[in-house]
């Protein structure tokens, strides 16, 4: 709901035991019954794990596996942090299927 006087968003408040909407400009209304205030909390997102049979459709790059020292690995990226931060690159060895992260 917006203030009819100044156009700002009306905020819920309590006055004399009643729930009302108020604005910074001084406007008040008792029409809280018409509004439904919802609050939701987003849960943690789950990372996608790439299975052995899914790897061939991923791009292949030259890098060294930290486990078996093979020079080929599949890679994919996932946005694991805030949107203004870079994606995390996941790598999967083409030989031993070891998975690791590349933060660079």
Q: Which residues are catalytic?
A: 84-85
Write 14-20 long-range contacts (CB < 8 A, 24+): none
Find out whether 101 and 86 touch, Cβ atoms under 8 Å. Answer: no
Find out whether 67 and 93 touch, Cβ atoms under 8 Å. Answer: yes
């Amino acid at each position: 709901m917006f203030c009819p006087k100044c156009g700002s968003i009306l905020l819920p408040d309590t006055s004399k035991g009643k729930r009302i909407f108020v604005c910074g400009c001084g406007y008040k209304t008792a029409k809280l019954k018409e509004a439904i205030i919802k609050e939701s909390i987003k849960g943690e997102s789950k990372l996608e794990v790439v299975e052995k049979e899914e790897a061939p459709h991923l791009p292949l790059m030259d890098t060294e596996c930290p486990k078996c020292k093979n020079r080929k690995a599949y890679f994919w990226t996932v946005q694991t942090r805030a949107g203004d931060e870079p994606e995390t690159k996941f790598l999967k060895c083409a030989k031993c299927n070891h998975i690791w992260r590349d933060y660079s």
